[in-house]
């Protein structure tokens, strides 16, 4: 059992660290960005950091499946939409085998694609081609008074160190849309709204925490409290309980890490939501480490460990539900999501009430049966029908100590 608990503890910590780091990932070529979006066509991706203080944006445009005989380009169209008027960042591999990156304005349908200044300043531009992925890095001094622009991206052939006309496939013609550097959102050329990376992180944060702290943790507690009453479920109930709570912890840590990332990027500070979240992480971690200190059933300190485990466990459940509703108020999703979670809580609550009544019926019936079968046990030192003093078990019941 000790080896099993140590294995579970190590696995929980290892997986939670991995998942939390993955949940915060929005990077390319070892550069971390606060916003990133998958563009709908041409295997393209856009990453950026927007600096409100000086109205600049550090961007990275990545396109996969690129060869050394192709050029790629990404552009903002400040005064219109589509190709004409686009202010382009272009990159390709020249005849010397070096990746060249430069700027060029597109003033018509047959552009020369030669290097030229844009309508806004580009203090820095570079590019790299690795394993078929071309990445253009640049710093843009955005035009004043706005953060939303039309964008265009493209790929085409290179001949003699000169970019040639791109293909006219449906993907090439659909490679345009809009980008809002402040909100983190993009839209496609079809007019459909895109979910920005920041909003997507908020949604992921909410889903992870509802599933983990708000659903899995209560189910895990119910599993331990009610399954353990049935002798045939021992020790299966314990392994189910540990599996459920460790899964909740791993998913919950990912949600917590995503929340920290969101908090560091947001100008708004939600103190109550943040503080409760940090408290939940600390209590959850304490519960995981408490597995190593779990005394044997007949140990004199087991009663106190049970009391601690029950207290912290129910505190986590209560705080989780409170904080989830705080999150609903902050995220302000469609009302159906809040109603759905309320429905889940009602279902779990009703199930708990029914199981509570049924398990007490089973315990009382078993106690009465044992009292009739072994009357001398029931009268010895005023103990109960299981031969042990009544006490609070680790899940809040006042059942006999032998059941714990």
Phi–psi pair at 160, nearest 5 degrees: 60, 40
CA distance 92 to 86: 18
Neighbours of 338 (CB within 10 A): 17
Torsion over CA: 12, 13, 18, 19 (sign): positive
CA distance 215 to 356: 18
Neighbours of 394 (CB within 10 A): 21
Distances 330 to 270, 272, 281 between C-alpha atoms, Å:
8, 11, 20
Provide the annotated binding site for heme b: 205, 241, 273, 309
CA distance 238 to 21: 30
- 236-265 helix and 197-211 helix, angle to the nearest 10 degrees: 150
The size of the chain, in residues, is 404
Indicate the helix (H) or strand (E) that contains 177. Answer: strand 176-180
Strands 44-51 and 124-130 turn out to be: unpaired
- Exposure string for 115-131, b = 16+ CB within 10 A, e = fewer: eeebebebeebebebee
List strands edge to edge, sheet with 44-51: 35-38, 44-51, 56-64, 133-141, 124-130
Provide the annotated binding site: 205, 241, 273, 309
CA distance 112 to 325: 57
The answer to whether the CB of 385 falls within 8 A of the CB of 368 is yes
The answer to whether the CB of 193 falls within 8 A of the CB of 185 is yes
């Amino acid at each position: 059992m000790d080896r099993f608990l140590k294995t579970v503890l190590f696995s929980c910590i290892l997986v939670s660290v991995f998942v939390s780091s993955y949940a915060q990932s929005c990077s390319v070529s070892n550069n971390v960005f606060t916003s990133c979006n998958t563009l709908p066509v041409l295997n393209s991706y856009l990453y950026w950091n927007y600096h409100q203080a000086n109205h600049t944006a550090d961007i990275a445009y990545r396109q996969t499946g690129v060869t050394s005989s192709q050029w790629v380009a990404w552009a903002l169209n400040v005064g219109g939409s589509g190709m004409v008027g686009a202010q382009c960042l272009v990159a390709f591999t020249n005849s010397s085998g070096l990746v060249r990156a430069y700027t060029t304005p597109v003033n018509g349908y047959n552009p020369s694609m030669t290097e030229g200044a844009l309508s806004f300043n580009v203090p820095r531009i570079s590019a790299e081609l690795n394993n078929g992925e071309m990445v253009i890095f640049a710093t843009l001094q955005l035009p004043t008074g706005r953060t939303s622009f039309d964008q265009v991206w493209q790929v085409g052939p290179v001949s003699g160190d000169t970019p040639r006309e791109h293909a006219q496939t449906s993907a090439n013609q659909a490679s345009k849309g809009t980008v809002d550097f402040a909100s983190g959102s993009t839209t496609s050329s079809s007019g459909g709204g895109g979910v920005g990376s920041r909003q997507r992180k908020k949604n992921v944060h909410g889903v992870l925490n509802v599933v983990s702290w708000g659903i899995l943790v209560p189910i895990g507690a119910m599993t331990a409290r009610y399954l353990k009453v049935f002798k045939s479920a021992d020790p299966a109930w314990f392994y189910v309980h540990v599996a459920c709570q460790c899964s909740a912890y791993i998913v919950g840590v990912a949600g917590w890490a995503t929340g920290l990332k969101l908090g560091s990027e947001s100008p708004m500070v939600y103190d109550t939501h943040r503080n409760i979240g940090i408290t939940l992480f600390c209590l959850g971690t304490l519960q995981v480490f408490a597995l190593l200190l779990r005394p044997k059933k007949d140990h004199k300190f087991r009663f106190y460990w049970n009391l601690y485990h029950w207290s912290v466990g129910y505190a986590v459940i209560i705080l989780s539900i409170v904080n989830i509703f705080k999150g609903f108020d902050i995220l302000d999703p469609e009302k159906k999501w809040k109603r759905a979670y309320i429905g889940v809580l009602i279902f779990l609550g009703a199930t708990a009430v029914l199981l509570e009544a049924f398990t007490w019926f089973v315990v009382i019936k078993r106690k009465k049966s044992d009292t009739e079968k072994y009357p001398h046990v029931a009268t010895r030192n005023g103990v109960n029908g299981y031969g042990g003093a009544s006490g609070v078990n680790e899940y809040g019941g006042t059942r006999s100590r032998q059941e714990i």
